[in-house]
Amino acid sequence: MTKNKSKRSMRAYQELYSRFHRLHQLSHLGSMANWDSATMMPSGSHQARADAMAELQVIMHQHVAAPDWSELFDKAREEQLDNWQSANLNEMFVEWQNRSLLPEDLVREKSQAGARCEHAWRTQRGQNDWAGFAENLRPVVELSRREATIRAEARGCSRYDALLNLYEPGMTSETLDRIFGEVSSWLPELIQKVAQKQQSEQFDEPKGPFSIPSQEALGREVMSQLGFDFNAGRLDVSMHPFCGGVPEDVRITTRYDESDFTQSLMGVVHETGHARYEQNLPRELISQPVATARSMGVHESQSLLFEMQIGRHPNFLELIQPVIHKHFGHQPELSLGNLQTLYTRVKPGLIRVDADEVTYPAHVILRYEIEKALVEGEMEVDDIPDQWNVRMKQYLGLNTEGDYKNGPMQDIHWTDGSFGYFPSYTLGAMYAAQQFAAIRRQLPDIDRMIAEGELAPVFDWLKQNIWSQGSCHDTDTLMKNATGEVLNPEYFKQHLESRYL
């Protein structure tokens, strides 16, 4: 009797549950189509795929535009829900609002403009064709501003904050300005100190060629060591490394350079961190918003914990050195000492994805400042190259004048209007340092465990405190439950100083 009453009292919630299950299935198809576009799709198929993806976006938008959604939420709030169901209802409402706010024509136009810009970028970047790229980027920026205006009016915030909230719920540009301002106050001096310290360090670049099949085999072995489930995911190649798909079918990619295996290897470690998070989200609620990653910053914390906290740990490099020798043979440049020096080398460079963890925040702060000004209308697309060069000189002492492919054309994120995404990278580095400090407190013998490949306790901590929590809590609560406090950038600074000084 009680059970039937409970079922009757959750009719609205169950209807919403079913509707979000359908959205998950449609998103699944979309993610696979996006993965195929980046890895296997013939270039001549671009327009057909862009049109199909735009149509899928419209179908999903029409699904959430039904007139009875608001009424269902009102009824569901009166029903008897447990903690996870209540959290799911909250996340459902946020996702519904985010999806339903935009008019259908804007959804279609933005999807098509983004697909055109991204596809053209693949060729234009290699040709250093800023003029061609800018022509495609302008409509993306204009459509993103339209979107930001609609979202800002609904939320009562700035246009940039409205987009930032799509990736970092609860974060504001005011908070970012404070956090990034603090980092900017000590980062240049730290870079200088590390550079002085490393002047006397001798190292040699490994001598290739390193065949792509061997690099792939090495990556797969390390992925297995890190717990990647190949029955629910795969590794492929794309121009820009990423982790996509869905928790039941995670797709990660890397890119290879036969003259240097070190970047692709750490790229694989990085994406494996993303993948482990996805593969361990709450499976019993997998089609629901509460079972998704808490934010892109938290997502990035998992990839950076894998890459920076574990992957570049000297004991982990010692652990995988025999596997490196297995695939590339023995040479002095693959000695443990040389590998450790290579993977902790700090040198300002032009390319964000190749940057060391000390200079990396400068790349993010530069992009954050530019994209915020773009969205707010304080900067135009034609201003980007000069503003990029000014900030590269200011933060890293480098010149990108006329070098667009290694300057403002190097990233894929702006091509589809992903404005508000870049701060997640440095927030993720901070979350990762704070989480690893908490792991170290619980597992004081962590250095020995890494050396012996005893990584299960680390993964168990992450599963219990981060992965299995999905979006049940807001970011501050998630971090406080896991580490004892909300985000504290001091852990990141301590980590960098400890490793590099």
pLDDT digits (tens, 9 = 90+) for 235-293: 999 988 899 999 999 999 999 999 999 999 999 999 999 999 999 999 999 999 999 99
Catalytic residue status for 205: no
- Residue 374, by phi and psi: left (phi above 0), alpha (psi -120 to 50) or beta? alpha
Q: CA–CA distance from 304 to each of 207, 232, 308, 432 (Å)?
A: 27, 22, 5, 6
The pLDDT value recorded for residue 180 is 97
pLDDT at 4: 45
The token duo for 279 is: 């593969």
Question: Is the pLDDT score of 494 beyond 70?
Answer: yes
> pTM of the predicted model, to two decimals?
0.94
For residue 332, pLDDT over 90 is answered with yes
Q: What is the pLDDT of residue 240?
A: 82
> Which one from 147, 271, 307, 357 is the annotated catalytic residue?
271
Q: What's the mean per-residue pLDDT of the chain?
A: 95
Q: Please compute the mean of the pLDDT values over residues 340-355 and round it to a whole number.
A: 94
Query: What is residue 20's predicted lDDT score, i.e. its pLDDT?
Result: 97
- If residue 279 lies in a helix (H) or strand (E), which one and from where to where? helix 262-279
Q: What is the mean pLDDT of residues 32-59?
A: 93
* Position 6 pLDDT exceeds 90: no
Q: What is the mean pLDDT of residues 69-92?
A: 97
Longest Cα pair distance anywhere in the chain, in angstroms? 78
User: Tell me, what's the pLDDT at 5?
Assistant: 44
Enter the tokens of residue 499: 């490793």
Residue 174: pLDDT band with limits 50, 70, 90:
very high
pLDDT at 410: 96
Domain ranges of the chain: 2-167, 212-311+426-500
pLDDT at 3: 43
What is the band of 2 on the pLDDT scale with cuts at 50, 70, 90?
Answer: very low
List the one residue out of 439, 442, 421, 448 whose CA is nearest residue 495.
Answer: 439
186-234 pLDDT, tens digit per residue, is 999 999 999 999 998 988 999 999 999 999 999 999 999 999 999 999 9
Average the pLDDT over 299-326 and give the result: 97
Phi-psi region of 453 (alpha: psi -120 to 50; beta: other; left: phi over 0): left
30-64 residues labelled b (16+ CB within 10 A) or e (exposed) = bbeebbebbbebeeeebeebbeebbebbbebbebb
The predicted pLDDT at position 286 comes to: 94
Percent of the chain whose predicted confidence (pLDDT) is above 90:
95
Nearest to 430 by CA among 271, 308, 325: 308
- C-alpha distances in Å from residue 497, one per residue of 12, 193, 341, 346, 500: 53, 10, 16, 12, 5
pLDDT digits (tens, 9 = 90+) for 127-148: 999 999 999 999 999 999 999 9
Distance CA 87, CA 487 (A): 22
pLDDT band at 434 (very low <50, low <70, confident <90, very high): very high
Confidence of residue 305 (pLDDT cuts 50, 70, 90): very high
Q: What is the mean pLDDT of residues 37-43?
A: 93
DSSP β-ladder status, 249-254 and 243-246:
antiparallel
Give the pair of three-digit tokens for residue 412.
């894929």
